[in-house]
Amino acid sequence: MSKTVTIAIDAMGGDHGPYVVVPAALGLLKAHQNVALVLVGDQETLYAELHRRGVDVGERLAVQHASQKVEMHEPPSQALRTKKDSSMRVAIDLVKQGRAQASISAGNTGALMAIARYVLKTLPGIDRPAIMTAMPSMIGHTHVLDLGANVDCTAEHLLQFALMSSVLVSAVDDNEAPTVGLLNIGQEEIKGNNQVKRAARLLANSSLNYVGYVEGDDIFKGSADIVICDGFVGNVALKTTEGVAKLISHFLREEYRRNLFTRLIALASRPVLQAYREKIDPRYYNGASLVGLRGIVVKSHGGADEIAFTNSIRVAIREVEKDIPQRISNRLQSLLVERPAVV
Amino acid sequence: MSKTVTIAIDAMGGDHGPYVVVPAALGLLKAHQNVALVLVGDQETLYAELHRRGVDVGERLAVQHASQKVEMHEPPSQALRTKKDSSMRVAIDLVKQGRAQASISAGNTGALMAIARYVLKTLPGIDRPAIMTAMPSMIGHTHVLDLGANVDCTAEHLLQFALMSSVLVSAVDDNEAPTVGLLNIGQEEIKGNNQVKRAARLLANSSLNYVGYVEGDDIFKGSADIVICDGFVGNVALKTTEGVAKLISHFLREEYRRNLFTRLIALASRPVLQAYREKIDPRYYNGASLVGLRGIVVKSHGGADEIAFTNSIRVAIREVEKDIPQRISNRLQSLLVERPAVV
């Protein structure tokens, strides 16, 4: 039997707070016998929510009180300074104290990054943590980072992102040497800005499985297992992806609702549309990893429903089981020993 | 009757050259009685292609010989230096000489930009031309620029893009004061890089209908008529959009082909899927404008088919009919008169 994995969950974060977190947690506990969860937040609310569902705390389910909550649009520095007893902060503190092996929040991304970085610190050799998620591709999925933690990255930062993510992906996807692509634009000569050109040279000289430049559409073709970019570009790519997917769903729904005949077709098409949705449904891709920290922190989408939030807990469990921060640290150490001058 | 619009077409550009350009041109001439087209390229090939279709040149259809062709991956500076008799260059020369009011090419974007800029020059007050296209949104379409002509833009360049596109969109969409959004990422505090923050201040102080920051998904929600970004980010957003749309089509097709039952559903769904496709089909959005030049140049997608290429000719016609370069120039002049210190 595998040893118990304990995850601290910010139960007050996101658009729905405990009303999504609690049922997701309960469902997950049933499916994963080796997992224990700590729900962090206002204890009165949390106990009420548990009792309403006829559940009590026990060996694998605990409540940890936190008197504050980080607001969705609160500036990160303010959250860091004034919200020391927030559900987000306390969940990360539990990881720092070794009482949990990972924490999850659907709250304010900027605040989560700031607090996680302040409390847990970055791994030696890593300047900045990055946010990484999987996106669907024709042949499986592609991991993309950074998705918004860092704007104005240097080439060295991009190299660090590639190193960290290669370690993570090789462990969680059982992929010995994941391929790494550097996001760029297609025009010749004016190709790339200086930061990207320099990063390409660093990647080509690294021990990573670097496959060269990729473009935005390569994320979905599966041209590389990992796509590296700065946080500004990555965030635009992520939001664009969400926007296109929603637009397409909107138009499909509109067409299927046009008249009685199209409504009947929609009914008949249900299994097809359902199967299709499961392949690209963002809920099944929910759970972005904050990589580069001395601890595991996963960010759920703020609007996550029960299915989506459950998936983010699974992302955290996988990273705990594979001991990701330690693996990244070991890899960085071995690189520093091999080539002292270069990370 | 409106006066004749003459468009010079690089008939050798793109993946299919004359085999797409010639039928598109002939179809367009039938639909638009006030348009004349000049097909530029290898005259032997072009005459053969016309004769094969039982057509001859005449008052509204001419062939202009060009002995060279710019290759798809040729460096722009090389194309500029060594391809002075290329179909792309000659088509743009015709605009410069006043023998055509616009030119279109499906060839190498970097070369097209370099040649257009060299031959036609930028408008007074404009440092760099930009590439702009329309993308579908829930409420119509959104114009996005720059899409890859400029990486590493300054805030002043972004302001110029906003000015030029506002003039263009107000004319072609009959929209007095189109709304302008600045593409950014959502995280608070770390919001935006310095260039974006500075551009926001310039836009807020301009006479444009600036509505503030927008994110990647806002392009498809239609939150602003125009979305401004630097060419690197814009190109990633464009390619990402193409990639997601292709992935979704791929999965839908896969699901509909699963078995006999799903194939029957696909058959029944045809009118629905067709109507839906027409709304987001990139062919109906083909034709990116090179704005900021003293002449009209439209870039077609390299892989354009007849429908798509025809659409790019329509984009050029609209810009000629609305006299876009002159309008942009007038607007810039009036701004210079009003506030001599600021563009």
Mean of pLDDT over chain A: 91
The mean pLDDT value for B276-300 works out to 90
The answer to whether the Cβ–Cβ distance between A187 and B248 falls below 8 Å is no
Residue B216 C-alpha, separation from nearest chain A C-alpha, in angstroms: 4
End-to-end CA distance of chain A: give it in Å, rounded. Answer: 38
The mean pLDDT value for A4-22 works out to 96
Residue-wise pLDDT tens digits, B178-219: 999 999 997 555 566 788 999 999 999 999 999 999 999 999
CA of A141: which chain B residue's CA is closest?
A: B247
Residue-wise pLDDT tens digits, A145-179: 999 888 888 999 999 999 999 999 999 998 989 99
Say which of A190, A269, A279 has its CB closest to residue B265.
A269
Looking at per-residue pLDDT, the higher value among A187 and A33 belongs to A33
Q: What pLDDT is stored for residue A340 in this prediction? A: 46
Residue B71 C-alpha, separation from nearest chain A C-alpha, in angstroms: 11
Cα B81 vs. chain centroid, distance in angstroms? 25
The answer to whether the Cβ–Cβ distance between A237 and B238 falls below 8 Å is no
Q: What pLDDT is stored for residue B151 in this prediction? A: 84
The answer to whether the Cβ–Cβ distance between A236 and B252 falls below 8 Å is no
CA of A193: which chain B residue's CA is closest?
A: B151
Looking at per-residue pLDDT, the higher value among A103 and B263 belongs to A103
Q: What pLDDT is stored for residue B337 in this prediction? A: 62
Residues near A166 by beta carbon (within 8 Å), at least 6 away in sequence = A177, A178, A180, A208, A209, A226, A331
pLDDT reading at A1 higher than 60: no
Cβ atoms of residues B289 and B315 within 8 Å: yes
Cα B143 vs. chain centroid, distance in angstroms? 10
The mean pLDDT value for A203-208 works out to 94
Residues of B in contact with A247 (CB under 8 A): 136-138, 220, 280
Residue B69 C-alpha, separation from nearest chain A C-alpha, in angstroms: 17
Q: What pLDDT is stored for residue B340 in this prediction? A: 46
pLDDT band at B275 (very low <50, low <70, confident <90, very high): confident
The answer to whether the Cβ–Cβ distance between B241 and A246 falls below 8 Å is no
Give the DSSP letter string of A149-187.
Answer: S-SS--HHHHHHHHHHHHHHHHHHTT-SS-EEEEE----
The mean pLDDT value for B86-113 works out to 97
The answer to whether the Cβ–Cβ distance between A148 and B268 falls below 8 Å is no
Mean of pLDDT over chain B: 91
Q: What pLDDT is stored for residue B339 in this prediction? A: 53
Residue-wise pLDDT tens digits, A298-341: 999 999 999 999 999 999 999 999 999 999 999 888 876 655 44
The mean pLDDT value for A186-197 works out to 71
Say which of B229, B248, B269 has its CB closest to residue A269.
B269
Smallest CA-to-CA distance from B198 within B219, B216, B182 is with B182
pLDDT reading at B153 higher than 70: yes
Residue-wise pLDDT tens digits, A249-281: 888 888 888 888 888 888 888 888 888 778 778
For residue A76, what is the enclosing H or E element? helix A76-82
Beta strands B226-228 and B102-105: pairing type? unpaired
DSSP annotation of B285: G
pLDDT band at B3 (very low <50, low <70, confident <90, very high): confident
CA of A72: which chain B residue's CA is closest?
A: B188
Residues near B270 by beta carbon (within 8 Å), at least 6 away in sequence = none
Q: What pLDDT is stored for residue A293 in this prediction? A: 96
Residue-wise pLDDT tens digits, B291-319: 999 999 999 999 999 999 999 999 999 99
pLDDT reading at B289 higher than 60: yes
pLDDT reading at B1 higher than 60: no
Q: How far is CA B295 from CA A28, A119, B95, B213, B319, in A?
A: 62, 58, 7, 31, 10
Is this complex scored with an ipTM above 0.95?
no
DSSP annotation of B68: B
Q: What percent of chain B has pLDDT over 70?
A: 95
Q: What pLDDT is stored for residue B191 in this prediction? A: 63
Q: What percent of chain B has pLDDT over 90?
A: 75
The answer to whether the Cβ–Cβ distance between A236 and B279 falls below 8 Å is no
Say which of B193, B235, B266 has its CB closest to residue A185.
B235
The mean pLDDT value for A120-132 works out to 93
The answer to whether the Cβ–Cβ distance between B276 and A252 falls below 8 Å is yes
Cα B215 vs. chain centroid, distance in angstroms? 22
